[in-house]
Each structure stands twice: as structure tokens, then as C-alpha cells.
Amino acid sequence: MKIADRVKPISYLKAHAPEIIRGLSEGADPVVITLHGEARAVLQDVAQYEETQETLALLKVLALTNQQVEQGKVRPVSEAFQGIRERIKNQA
């Protein structure tokens, strides 16, 4: 479905909130809510939101990793695991 089909004014949300929420929980695409003709909010199912947040977190980790590789902040895996083992041993 095109996003243009999912743009609704806030008055529509007020009048059809249960229907919109039910649709979102059944897997419908997010709904863009407008106020005075301008997009102001996006409604989406909680599970879809959580999945989006997890994806963003993973992308941030990947971007940080790429940045560290470019800066030369890398070391052999054997050295990294040895450091972890030593920290665990010192905590015990």
C-alpha cells in the first residue's frame, strides 16, 4: 500500500481510533497523522516499533564498528578474547 493512502487528518484519528488501532495490530502499515495539513505523527504497532528500534540499534553498532575499523582501532581476535578471559578471571 502506498503511504499516501495511509495519511489521515487528526480528525479522522479522533473519529476512528479503535479501527485504526485494530488495523495496526493486525499488521497494517503505519498511519501518518496530519495537523493543519502537515504531517505531525506516525502511528504504528508496538511490535513493528520495537523491530524498527532494534534495527536502528544494530545499524548504529555497525556504523560504529566501521568507524573504528577505519580509525585502525582493531586488534586480532585472539588478543581480544585473551583480554576478556583475563577480566573474567580477575572478577572471580
What DSSP line would sit under 51-80, residue for residue?
A: HHHHHHHHHHHHHHHHHHHHTT----HHHH
- Judged against a pLDDT cut of 90, whether residue 2 lies above it is answered with no
Task: Assign 3 a pLDDT band (cuts: 50, 70, 90).
Answer: confident
Q: Are 6 and 32 in contact (CB under 8 A)?
A: yes
For the segment 46-65, what is each residue's pLDDT rounded down to a tens digit? 999 999 999 999 999 999 99
